[in-house]
């Protein structure tokens, strides 16, 4: 019996070990038992389950001539490759270690990362119950009058259908209102035109939401009726009635950064989330969180204010007044530098730990997403690494993969400089994963230029020469789009502050004049070369300033040897017109707490009002 044979082998082994101590040698029978082919220590040396040996190999000794199996120490066993494979430098650069990629490309499932079951994304509902094709009608106020003029297609009414067969969805799937069909093509249909192409594409298309198109295109409203006996007879149904409507204008974002440290300013200009108009912005970004240099987790930049005094809680609490508002946490900023970001993003395990911590923080404090303000990837002069460009793309992709099922938003604040962009961003790649891109189109001129100039000119000016021709808003926007950023994802940054300089010669104050250094610090912000718009309004109220406008429409003011370039309501209005002309995704404001919220320039929040009066969409009231 098998158990008896195994017992005999175990006894023989015991005798072998104890034999010398007992003062006797093994018998011939005992030696035969130990050298038998069946004694293999199967629990260690048995053939791996994924290898099927031949009939003569089962139970063969690993040194037997019968065995065709490679020694187990060199066998490429599953899972073992992940441990035994020695990563090469290329592996580390590409993060392509065998079997580890499934773990390292995104955080391993755990309670902090796995999306809650109740919030998992679901596929569109499939309806197979009705052979009748139709859509749910809208209210009469949304309907485009029948037989009226369409600005692009002409007469609208019973003779128009804008959806082409190639743009229709998969068979039997309903088009959700939030997921309109792409790229409609205008096609004329008379009341007696067969529509077999549509019927073959969607034979069981059930009632669904109206076919609204993005970007203000035209779609189908009402319930188109089809008359047929059976689908099998191939009698072409006829379009009887339908109606066209014009979509609402696409909503443009108003992304407002809120500086947490504004709460520490003097009482007269102190500002916190409690002061934010809940309907002024579509997105409120709380600046900033930081990165721990040892654990590489996201942490509060000011734990005392953010957590103990309720900075996070107050920011998220603005949504109670306007549930449509999205409140996001921004991590990084200029003072954070590039080094900690570079170290965190350079290794998969560090990125994983960072993402896990982000999930915990967003979940705990009920933020709607994360904004990455890494200034800047690949910036060697700021502590970055040349490999940051690829690592930033990996970080964005991995965050987007985790955020998607949870419905969280992901954005990034990016440089307007062409030269920074080339070193920092794979634009086309990150644009696919980011919900929107905050283009920091300001601080284009600073002390390094040795000249007094506006830091956010809309267009190139006659005095711009050499590389200065690249430092304007229009060039930055068009270069980002040229490199692959969709216009609808680009959100143009507008500064609610000015940059000041001290002139070498007060008599020479035109833009481009020589300077001795930065301008005097503001009374409240206490930073040389920087003035909040409320400080600029206070200075203007004192009198004695010459107010000028350059060739690009950018305002500046001069008094003695002090030169200040800034934005006012007129220049903001011009930039809003530019946003509409370029079909950009909206406007980003740095920062909402820098506006003249006390009305020293005449009316309260003049810059934010200029934005609100010129934005498209329904969320900003």
**Domains of the chain, earliest start first:** 2-56 (no CATH), 76-105 (no CATH), 128-248 (no CATH), 253-492+571-612 (3.20.20.80)
User: By C-alpha distance, which of 378, 388, 483, 392 is closest to 433?
Assistant: 392
Q: What is the pLDDT of residue 18?
A: 53
Give the per-residue pLDDT at 79.
52
Q: Is the pLDDT of residue 415 over 90?
A: yes
Confidence category of residue 474, pLDDT binned at 50, 70, 90: very high
- DSSP secondary structure string for all residues of 409-423: EEEEEE---HHHHHH
> Is the per-residue pLDDT at 234 higher than 60?
no
Mean pLDDT of 569-591: 98
- Count CA within 13 A, CB hemisphere, residue 135: 22
The reported pLDDT for the residue numbered 400 is: 98
Residue 444 confidence (pLDDT) above 50:
yes
pLDDT for residue 423 is more than 80: yes
Category of 583 on φ-ψ map: left (φ > 0), alpha (ψ -120 to 50) or beta: left
- Looking at residue 84, what is its pLDDT? 52
DSSP letter for 304, please.
Answer: I
Residue 422 has a pLDDT of 95
pLDDT over 80 (residue 128) = no
Distance CA 10, CA 240 (A): 89
Between residues 327 and 251, the one the model is more confident about: 327
Averaged over 475-483, what is the pLDDT? 98
Q: Per-residue pLDDT averaged across 601-606, rounded? A: 93
Task: Report whether 286 contacts 329 (CB < 8 A).
Answer: yes
Residue with tokens 């089962």: 58
200 catalytically annotated: no
Q: HSE-up of 274 (CA within 13 Å, CB side)?
A: 6
Average pLDDT over all residues of the chain: 74
Segment 597-617 shows an average pLDDT of 91
Across the range 166-187, mean pLDDT stands at: 35
pLDDT digits (tens, 9 = 90+) for 301-348: 999 999 999 999 999 999 999 999 999 999 999 999 999 999 999 999
Determine the 3-state secondary structure of 349 from DSSP. Answer: helix
399, 356 Cβ separation under 8 angstroms: no
Confidence of residue 10 (pLDDT cuts 50, 70, 90): low
CB 254 within 8 A of CB 282: yes
User: CA 277 to CA 593: how far, in whole Å?
Assistant: 11
Q: What DSSP character marks residue 305?
A: I
Model pLDDT, residue 435: 98
Estimate the crossing angle of helix 2-22 against helix 28-35, to 10 degrees.
120
What pLDDT, in 10s, does the model give residues 520-538? 999 999 999 999 999 999 9
* Predicted pLDDT at 51: 42
Q: Distance between CA 393 and CA 94 in Å, rounded? A: 12
If one compares 110 and 438, the residue with the highest pLDDT of the two is 438
| Structure-block tokens of residue 536 | 């600029």
- Is this model's pTM higher than 0.95 or not? no
The answer on pLDDT for 514 being more than 90 is yes
Q: Which pLDDT score is estimated for 214? A: 37
Confidence of residue 50 (pLDDT cuts 50, 70, 90): very low
Q: How far apart are CA 492 and CA 471, in angstroms?
A: 15
Q: Is the pLDDT of residue 572 over 90?
A: yes
- Please check the confidence at residue 182 and state whether its pLDDT lies above 80: no
Q: Is the pLDDT reported for residue 98 higher than 80?
A: no
Render pLDDT for 267-286 as a digit per residue (tens, 0 to 9). Answer: 899 999 999 999 999 999 99
* Cα gap 356→361, rounded to integer Å: 9
**Whole-number percent of the chain with pLDDT over 70:** 58
Q: What is the pLDDT averaged over residues 347-355?
A: 98
Could you give the CA distance from residue 495 to residue 588 in angstroms, rounded to a whole number? 8
Say if residue 139's pLDDT is above 60. no
| pLDDT at 353 exceeding the cut of 60 | yes
Average pLDDT score over residue span 171-176? 32
Which pLDDT score is estimated for 200? 33
Q: Quote the tokens at residue 567.
A: 């934005």
Residue 393 has pLDDT above 90, yes or no: yes
- pLDDT bracket for residue 251 (50, 70, 90): confident
pLDDT band per the 50, 70, 90 thresholds, residue 198 = very low
Catalytic residue among 353, 375, 535, 567: 375
Q: Which pLDDT band holds residue 115 (cuts at 50, 70, 90)?
A: low
pLDDT value, residue 450 = 86
């Amino acid at each position: 019996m098998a158990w008896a044979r195994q017992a005999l082998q175990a006894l023989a082994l015991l005798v072998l070990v104890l034999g010398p101590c007992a003062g006797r040698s093994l018998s011939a029978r005992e030696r035969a038992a130990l050298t038998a082919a069946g004694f293999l220590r199967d629990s260690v040396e048995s053939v791996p389950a994924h290898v099927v040996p031949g009939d003569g190999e089962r139970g063969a000794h690993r040194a037997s001539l019968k065995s065709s199996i490679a020694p187990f120490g060199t066998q490429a066993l599953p899972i073992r490759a992940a441990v035994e494979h020695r990563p090469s430098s290329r592996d580390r650069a590409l993060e392509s270690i065998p079997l580890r990629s499934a773990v390292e490309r995104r955080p391993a499932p755990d309670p902090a990362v796995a999306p809650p079951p109740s919030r998992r994304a679901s596929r569109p509902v499939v309806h197979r119950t009705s052979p009748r094709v139709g859509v749910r009608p809208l209210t009469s106020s949304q309907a485009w009058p029948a037989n009226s003029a369409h600005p692009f297609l002409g007469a609208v009414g019973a003779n128009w259908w804008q959806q082409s067969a190639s743009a229709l969805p998969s068979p039997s799937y309903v088009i959700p209102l939030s997921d309109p069909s792409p790229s409609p093509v205008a096609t004329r249909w008379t009341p007696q035109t067969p529509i077999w192409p549509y019927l073959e594409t969607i034979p069981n298309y059930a009632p669904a939401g109206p076919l609204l198109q993005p970007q203000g295109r035209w779609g189908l409203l009402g319930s188109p009726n089809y008359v047929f006996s059976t689908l099998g007879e191939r009698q072409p149904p006829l379009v009887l009635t339908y109606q066209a409507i014009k979509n609402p204008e696409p909503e443009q974002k108003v992304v407002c950064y809120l500086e947490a440290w504004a709460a520490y300013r003097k009482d007269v200009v102190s500002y916190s989330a409690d002061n934010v108009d809940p309907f002024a912005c579509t997105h409120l970004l709380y600046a900033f969180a930081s990165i721990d240099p040892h654990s590489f987790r996201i942490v509060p930049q000011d734990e005392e204010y953010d957590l103990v005094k309720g900075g996070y809680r107050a920011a998220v609490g603005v949504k109670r007044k306007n549930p449509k508002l999205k409140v996001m946490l921004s991590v990084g900023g200029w003072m954070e530098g590039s080094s900690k970001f570079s170290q965190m993003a350079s290794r998969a395990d560090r990125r994983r730990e960072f993402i896990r911590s982000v999930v915990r923080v967003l979940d705990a404090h009920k933020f709607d997403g994360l904004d990455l303000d890494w200034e800047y990837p690949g910036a060697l002069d700021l502590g970055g690494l040349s490999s940051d460009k690829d690592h930033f793309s990996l970080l964005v992709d991995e965050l987007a993969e985790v955020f998607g099922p949870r419905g969280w938003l992901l954005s990034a604040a990016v440089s307007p400089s062409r030269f920074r962009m080339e070193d920092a961003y794979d634009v086309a790649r990150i644009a696919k994963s980011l919900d929107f891109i905050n283009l920091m189109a300001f601080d284009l001129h600073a002390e390094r230029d040795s000249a007094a100039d506006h830091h956010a000119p809309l267009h190139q000016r006659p005095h711009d020469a050499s590389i200065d021709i690249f430092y304007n808003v229009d060039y930055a926007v068009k270069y980002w789009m040229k490199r692959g950023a969709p216009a609808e994802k680009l959100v143009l940054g507008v500064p609610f502050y000015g940059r000041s300089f001290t002139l070498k010669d007060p008599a020479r104050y035109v833009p481009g004049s020589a300077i001795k250094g930065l301008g005097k610090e503001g009374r409240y912000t206490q930073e040389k070369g920087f003035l909040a718009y409320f400080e600029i309004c206070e200075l203007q109220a004192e009198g004695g300033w010459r107010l000028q406008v350059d060739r690009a429409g950018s305002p500046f003011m001069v008094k003695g040897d002090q030169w200040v370039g800034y934005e006012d309501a007129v220049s903001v209005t011009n930039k809003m017109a530019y946003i509409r002309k370029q079909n950009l995704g909206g406007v980003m404001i740095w920062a909402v707490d820098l506006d003249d919220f006390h009305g020293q320039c005449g009316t309260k929040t003049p810059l934010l009002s200029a934005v609100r009066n010129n934005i498209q969409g329904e969320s900003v009231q």
